[in-house]
Amino acid sequence: MEPNSKRREEYRAKHSSLNLHHNRALAADKSSYKPGNMFARFIGLIALVAVCFGVAWAAHMYFTIHSAVDGRNGGGLATSAKITNRQPISVLILGVDQGIEGRHDRGNSDTLILATANPQKNTATMTSIPRDTLADIKGDPGDKYFMFRVNSAYEIGGSKSSVKTVSSLLNVPINYYVEVNMKALRSLVNAVGGVDVNVPFDFSYDWCDFHKGKQHLNGRHAVAYVRMRKEDPRGDYGRQLRQRQVIEAIAHKAMSVNTISNYRKLVDIFNKYVKTNLTFNDMLSLALNYRGCMSNLNSGFLQGHDAWIDGASIQVASTKELQKTSNKIRKNLNLPVETLDNEETRQNELNDQNNHVKWDDPNAFTTYQIYEQNADKPAGGSNSGYGENSSSSTSSSSSSSSSSSSSTWKFHW
């Protein structure tokens, strides 16, 4: 017998008591299958499957919303540098009244709210700008609306014109805009399961009843709640307060876990009714990194003074009020305070000097005049300052606009 064969036989004889077999070495002993172990393995398998389904569902939700948001708003994908670096930002929120009450034109911005968020300080501001505020409208090539209601900027040039006008009015940079068709409000509130607001007083509007105190609103009631103005003792300022209440409540609900199950509804509404220059990645970063700002929100409005200009009711903000509002917003953007020097402050100064307007007088101004651009004389060359035919400018604004010459500016409402 060969030496190697002899050694193998001796090894087998020596270790035969171990009774080793290939299959048994790889298989577990049947005695190890205890009921407790079986149950633990089953639970682990279920958990693994659930996690896989959850990840797949979350990924589907992410890409669905991503596609809807960026497809709707130009296809931008990258996160903005400001948001990536967690810098303070400003957003102009525009509530557009197109489609409301039978309108089919572009419409005006029924709601204007300038919001800022500073993640370094964890502070936010939300400033309502009355739609009738007198402003130098930007983006009008013919200067038809040189000094006009601020909400008309949207009719002139959409969100772009509104951003430029508000930015100039308050001397603050505006980084982003969110334009919401007011027709979306009802569906949006329903999609987040309704909102809770603190109703300031009892009133009824559009077949909806509201009672002072905390009240849960569905979509139909929310639309009525933010649109009522005439019964509010504070007029449009009261309505602005209610608008901010609903917007803030929607923002909180939209970021809550309970609303994720309704993401398809939110995507459909967003895709149909919302326009913005924020990308999906921007919004995701805002939700993750700017969330703390909502815990310290300073909410307010630009206070105007009632005035009658050429038979139309206008809100004129004093230079002091404009400066105070500008300071508050600039501070939250980490910008130094600057003295306002724009067309609105120039008009105020000329009226202070020539017409002796009294800003502390609670009565509406009747002598406030609009002065020509780059000149210290009333627009149109008349003492009233409102066009060639002051008494009939309201009814003939469209016809007079087409016949205006380059040397004579016409004021239209």
Q: What is the DSSP string of 169-192?
A: HHT----EEEEEETTHHHHHHHHT
Tokens of 20: 């080793």
- CA-to-CA distance for 219 and 191, rounded, in angstroms? 9
Task: Answer whether residue 294 is part of any domain.
Answer: yes
3-state helix, strand, coil in the chain (%, to 5): 45, 20, 35
pLDDT at residue 34 above 60? no
Q: Which residues pair with 313 in a beta bridge?
A: 308
| 412 pLDDT higher than 70 | no
CATH of the domain at 267: 3.40.630.190
DSSP string, 385-407: -S-TTGGGTTTTHHHHHHT--TT
Examine residue 57 and state whether it is found in any structural domain, yes or no. Answer: no
Using the predicted structure, report yes or no on whether residue 23 has a pLDDT greater than 80. Answer: no
Residue 198 carries which DSSP code? E
Residues 231 and 49: their CA atoms lie apart, in Å, by 57
Which residues make Cβ contacts (< 8 Å) with residue 189, sequence separation at least 6? 195, 217, 218, 219, 222, 223, 246, 250
pLDDT at 231 over 80: yes
pLDDT of 108 reads 65
Cα 130 → chain centroid: 16
Query: Would 85 be classed as within a structural domain?
Result: yes
Residue 80: inside a domain: yes
Residues 136/147, Cβ–Cβ less than 8 Å: yes
pLDDT of residue 385: 37
Give bridge partners of residue 22 from the DSSP assignment: none
Query: How many domains would you assign to the chain?
Result: 1
Which one, of 200, 277, 278, 206, lies nearest residue 243 by Cα?
200
Whether residue 366 has pLDDT greater than 50: yes
Write the DSSP assignment of 328-387 as a string of letters. Answer: HHHHHTT-------SHHHHHHHHHHHHH---TT--SPBSS--PBPTTSSSBGGGSSS-S-
Give the residue among 229, 232, 266 at the shortest CA–CA distance from 251.
266
Sequence-distant (6+) residues with CB within 8 A of 338 are: 171, 326, 330
Q: What is the pLDDT of residue 395?
A: 32
Q: What is the pTM of this model?
A: 0.72
Q: Where are the beta strands (DSSP E) in 123-243?
A: 123-128, 134-136, 147-149, 176-181, 195-199, 203-205, 208-210, 213-217
Instruction: Report the SS3 class of residue 224.
Output: helix
pLDDT in tens, 169-227: 999 999 999 988 877 888 888 888 899 999 999 999 989 999 999 999 999 999 899 88
Residue type, 2: E
Of 260 and 275, the one with more pLDDT: 275
89-96, strands of its sheet edge to edge: 274-276, 176-181, 89-96, 109-118, 123-128, 297-301
Within-domain flag for 24: no
- Would you place residue 319 in the very low, low, confident or very high pLDDT band (cuts 50, 70, 90)? very high
Whether residue 159 lies inside any domain: the answer is yes
pLDDT the model gives residue 402: 31
What is the Cα gyration radius of the chain?
Answer: 32
Range with the poorest average pLDDT among 122-131, 157-166, 271-280, 338-347 = 271-280
CA 401 to chain centre: 34
pLDDT tier for residue 232 given thresholds of 50, 70 and 90: confident
- Distance, in Å, from the CA atom of 155 to the CA atom of 73, rounded to the nearest integer, reads 20
The pLDDT of residue 271: 76
Does any domain span residue 152?
Answer: yes
Question: Does a structural domain hold residue 50?
Answer: no
Per mean pLDDT, which range of 274-278, 357-361, 387-391 is the poorest? 387-391
Domain of residue 171, residue span: 74-368
Q: How far is CA 306 from CA 234, 271, 355, in A?
A: 12, 39, 16
CA distance 323 to 348: 12
User: Average pLDDT, whole number, for the chain?
Assistant: 77
